[in-house]
């Protein structure tokens, strides 16, 4: 597919665009479409050999959509895409999501403006020309008036620092950068580190053919039935017929889901009523468990315990060995780590070839060439699967490390906190926009829809600047401080910051530990619209340097 990408320039030359986009995933692809529609010249760069971003890299066994599920994890800007694409299941496999994104690229001829297999290794702002310059791994250079960082909230992999891990001679894979060649588990002894969404999706699939699976668990997790089912022709016809209503619901819902906002309060009902509702939702599966149960689970300890205890009972019912079930009991507030949907995860522990190792009582000491040594002894293994997650939300921005005014690297500006305004812009980094970055609803929102809405706002900013001959925009420091305080106030009113998670940065040693996502849901998009309608209070503009000449 890479052959269809933008042709390479002659060595040493420099290309000029209106908009530069880093990342050809769900967000960057939409940005390319949107800015092209505005008549702007756009260039996208991506290290992968084709479109898809997260969905290109995360091709581990069992990878599926959870969250909004199909057909609602999709672009909404045109009815045509919805009407012409047939989703087969409610929780589509990674290959089906990737096929949809490839179709989007084909349909709108996106690849001709994307340079694949090209890693952006430097980005710097030039005050004199009011432009960003990008340098790539292939030695290319390009400038753009606007830089859009669609670098992915979950794309910089988190690799554990364990003594001897580099000496392990068997196959080693991270779920977030899974190889494109087939991986066979047949007859192999496999250790999986990590029991987040990726590990919990992969483990039952690996267990089907592996000789032995060691699940190395640091934190026991709540997981809920995915409730995946085939979509019938009737389901698809119904979704198409009511698409206008569905889309309106997605726009209005706090998480971008096609659901009514939930106002039911757990502690106003009896324990029997609560359990009856949980049971009904458990049987149906999917994120409906959260969307249609109680509104106070993330804020009230009692409400939270009612849901947590229900799930713990379910785990004990499923897992036959009581000692294994004990180790699988989570002890944090439910929902305060990213909720997980599973397809046979707890049942996998009833298989003879799956062994759970609780790292809190039997920690990893080191790896050898042929195995993993925990306190209780060495387990010989042929393969190591790292399902250890990501330096999430801020990690990919810091890996890009753009240099703003005065050549200041973002790593320096973000040493203690990921300062930003509206989750989109950073003081000292004019004309640079982040998609799904810190300070935005990002991972708490239906991500394709969130990307469309953020890109729409950026397009409005660009139009505003073009019609007024403005060359640069950036937020004031005071606006960043106020936004940061709002982000923290919203989070601190919930139980989320009280648990170690990738949401709080606690999974990456040395990372600033605070809850950086905006929890105001769709209020966020009202704030963006209000800011645009009032001509961008909290931001400063500079005249276009060309118009000053
Ligand atoms: O990563 P995670 P993930 N030693 O960070 C453990 C999205 N997603 O890739 O909890 C031992 O959740 C770590 O332990 P702990 C989704 O938003 C979506 O699974 O930190 N263990 C944890 O168990 C998701 O939330 C889909 O104590 C170590 C695990 O590794 C996000 O991506 C599918 C360790 C990491 O879990 C990330 O999920 C998959 C160490 N040194 C993912 N370091 C969809 O279906 C880490 N761990 C759409």
Q: Taking CA 451 as the corner, what is the angle to CA 49 and CA 417, rounded to the nearest 5 degrees?
A: 95
pLDDT in tens, 425-466: 999 999 999 999 999 999 999 999 999 999 999 999 999 999
pLDDT in tens, 276-334: 999 999 999 999 999 999 999 999 999 999 999 999 999 999 999 999 999 999 999 99
Q: Which residues are registered as beta bridge partners of 73?
A: none
Task: Give me ligand 1 centre to Cα 391, in Å.
Answer: 10
**CA atoms of 96 and 65, how far apart (whole Å):** 9
Residues with CB under 6 A from ligand 1: 64-67, 154, 160, 175, 193-199, 201, 218-219, 338, 359, 387-390, 443, 502, 507
**CA atoms of 476 and 28, how far apart (whole Å):** 26
Task: Give me ligand 1 centre to Cα 418, in Å.
Answer: 21
Return the ligand 1 atom nearest residue 199 CA.
19
**To test ligand 1's pocket by mutation, which of 91, 162, 174, 197 has the most ligand atoms within 8 angstroms of CB?**
197
CA neighbours closer than 13 Å in the CB half-sphere of residue 3: 0
Count other Cβ atoms within 10 Å, centred on residue 107. 14
Encoding tokens for residue 5? Answer: 């990408």
**CA atoms of 454 and 351, how far apart (whole Å):** 46
Count other Cβ atoms within 10 Å, centred on residue 229. 13
Instruction: Write down the pLDDT at residue 1.
Output: 45
**CA atoms of 521 and 542, how far apart (whole Å):** 32
Instruction: Write down the pLDDT at residue 127.
Output: 96
Return the ligand 1 atom nearest residue 340 CA.
25
**Structural domains of the chain sorted by starting position, each given as residue range(s) with its CATH number in brackets:** 15-51+110-156+392-543 (3.50.50.60), 159-221+337-389 (3.50.50.60)
Task: Give me ligand 1 centre to Cα 389, in Å.
Answer: 4
Task: Give me ligand 1 centre to Cα 325, in Å.
Answer: 20
pLDDT in tens, 59-85: 999 999 988 888 999 999 999 999 899
Q: Report which DSSP code applies to 405.
A: G
**To test ligand 1's pocket by mutation, which of 448, 507, 511 has the most ligand atoms within 8 angstroms of CB?**
507
**pLDDT class of 178 with cuts at 50, 70, 90:** very high
> Which residue carries 């890996």 as its tokens?
399
Terminus-to-terminus CA distance in the chain, angstroms?
44
Which residue's CA is the nearest one to ligand 1's atom 46? 388
- Whole-number percent of the chain with pLDDT over 90: 94
**pLDDT class of 2 with cuts at 50, 70, 90:** very low
Kindly report whether the peptide bond that precedes residue 71 is cis, defined as omega within 30 degrees of 0: yes
pLDDT in tens, 462-518: 999 999 999 999 999 999 999 999 999 999 999 999 999 999 999 999 999 999 999
Task: Give me ligand 1 centre to Cα 194, in Å.
Answer: 6
Which residue's CA is the nearest one to ligand 1's atom 43? 388
Task: Give me ligand 1 centre to Cα 388, in Å.
Answer: 5
The CA-atom distances, in angstroms, between 268 and each of 263, 273, 319 are 11, 10, 32
Residue spans of beta strands (DSSP E) within 395-506? 432-434, 470-475
| Main-chain phi, psi angles of 231, to 5 degrees | -90, 130
358: pLDDT strictly greater than 50: yes
Closest listed residue to residue 359, CA positions, set 402, 388, 339: 388
The arithmetic mean of pLDDT across residues 12-23, rounded, is 95
8 A C-beta contact, residue 148 and residue 347: no
**CA atoms of 147 and 153, how far apart (whole Å):** 17
Closest listed residue to residue 496, CA positions, set 450, 447, 443, 436: 443
**pLDDT class of 548 with cuts at 50, 70, 90:** low
Q: Is the pTM of this model over 0.95?
A: yes
Name the burial class of residue 456, with classes exposed (0-12), middle (13-18) and buried (19+) by CB atoms within 10 angstroms of its CB: middle
The arithmetic mean of pLDDT across residues 227-237, rounded, is 95
Return the ligand 1 atom nearest residue 195 CA.
23
**To test ligand 1's pocket by mutation, which of 152, 191, 194 has the most ligand atoms within 8 angstroms of CB?**
194
Instruction: Write down the pLDDT at residue 549.
Output: 59
Task: Give me ligand 1 centre to Cα 179, in Å.
Answer: 18
CA neighbours closer than 13 Å in the CB half-sphere of residue 515: 24
Return the ligand 1 atom nearest residue 160 CA.
41
Closest listed residue to residue 421, CA positions, set 474, 497, 344, 358: 474
Task: Give me ligand 1 centre to Cα 30, in Å.
Answer: 27
Instruction: Write down the pLDDT at residue 3.
Output: 43
**To test ligand 1's pocket by mutation, which of 388, 390, 392, 508 has the most ligand atoms within 8 angstroms of CB?**
388
Decide which of 361 and 549 is more confident: 361
DSSP run (H or E) holding 486: helix 477-492
Helix 233-241 and helix 243-252, axial crossing angle in degrees, nearest 10: 70
Which residue's CA is the nearest one to ligand 1's atom 12? 196
370: pLDDT strictly greater than 60: yes
Return the ligand 1 atom nearest residue 389 CA.
1
Count other Cβ atoms within 10 Å, centred on residue 407. 10
Which residue's CA is the nearest one to ligand 1's atom 13? 194
Average pLDDT, rounded, for the chain: 96
Return the ligand 1 atom nearest residue 194 CA.
30
**pLDDT class of 204 with cuts at 50, 70, 90:** very high
Task: Give me ligand 1 centre to Cα 56, in Å.
Answer: 18
């Amino acid at each position: 597919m890479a052959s269809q990408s933008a042709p390479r320039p002659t060595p040493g030359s420099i290309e000029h665009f209106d908009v530069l986009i880093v990342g050809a995933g769900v967000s960057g692809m939409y940005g390319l479409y949107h800015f092209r529609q505005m008549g702007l010249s756009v260039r996208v760069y991506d290290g992968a050999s084709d479109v898809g971003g997260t969905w290109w890299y995360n091709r581990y066994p069992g990878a599926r959509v959870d969250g909004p599920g199909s057909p609602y994890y999709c672009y909404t800007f045109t009815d045509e895409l919805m009407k012409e694409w047939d989703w087969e299941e409610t929780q589509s496999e990674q290959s089906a999501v990737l096929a949809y994104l490839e179709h989007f690229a084909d349909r709108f001829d996106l690849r001709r403006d994307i340079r694949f297999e090209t890693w952006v290794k430097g980005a710097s702002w030039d005050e004199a020309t009011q432009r960003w310059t990008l340098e790539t791994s292939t030695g290319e250079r390009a400038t753009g008036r606007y830089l859009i960082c669609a670098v992915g909230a979950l794309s910089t992999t988190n690799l554990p620092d364990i003594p001897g891990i580099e000496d392990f001679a068997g196959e080693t894979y991270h779920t977030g950068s899974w190889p494109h060649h087939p991986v066979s588990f047949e007859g192999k002894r496999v250790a999986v580190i990590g029991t987040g969404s990726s590990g919990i999706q992969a483990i039952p699939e690996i267990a089907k053919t592996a000789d032995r699976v060691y699940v190395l668990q640091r934190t026991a997790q709540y997981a809920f039935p995915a409730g995946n089912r085939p979509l019938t022709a009737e389901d698809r016809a119904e979704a198409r017929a009511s698409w206008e209503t569905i889309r309106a619901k997605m726009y209005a819902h706090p998480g971008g889901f096609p659901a009514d906002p939930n106002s039911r309060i757990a502690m106003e009902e009896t324990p029997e009523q609560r359990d009856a509702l949980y049971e009904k939702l458990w049987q149906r599966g999917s994120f409906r468990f959260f969307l249609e149960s109680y509104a106070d689970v993330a804020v009230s300890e009692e409400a939270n315990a009612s849901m947590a205890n229900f799930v713990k009972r379910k785990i004990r019912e499923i897992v036959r060995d009581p000692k294994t079930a004990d180790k699988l009991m989570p002890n944090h507030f439910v929902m305060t780590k990213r909720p997980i949907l599973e397809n046979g995860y707890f049942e996998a522990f009833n298989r003879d070839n799956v062994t759970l190792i609780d790292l809190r009582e039997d920690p990893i000491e080191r790896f050898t060439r042929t195995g993993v040594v925990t306190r209780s002894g060495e387990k010989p293994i042929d393969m190591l699967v790292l399902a250890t997650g990501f330096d999430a939300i801020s990690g990919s921005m810091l890996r890009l490390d753009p240099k703003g005014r005065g050549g200041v690297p973002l790593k320096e500006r973000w040493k203690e906190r990921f300062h930003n305004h509206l989750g989109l812009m950073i003081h000292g980094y004019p004309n640079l926009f982040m998609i799904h970055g810190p300070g935005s609803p990002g991972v708490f929102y239906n991500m394709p829809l969130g990307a469309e809405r953020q890109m729409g706002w950026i397009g409005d900013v660009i139009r505003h600047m073009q019609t007024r001959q403005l060359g640069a925009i950036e937020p004031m420091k005071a606006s960043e401080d106020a936004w940061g305080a709002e982000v923290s106030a919203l989070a601190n009113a919930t139980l989320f910051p009280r648990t170690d998670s990738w949401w709080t940065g606690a999974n990456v040693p040395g990372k600033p530990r605070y809850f950086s996502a905006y929890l105001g849901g769709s209020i966020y998009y009202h704030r963006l619209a209000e800011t645009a309608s009032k001509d961008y209070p909290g931001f400063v503009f500079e005249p276009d340097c060309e118009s000053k000449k």
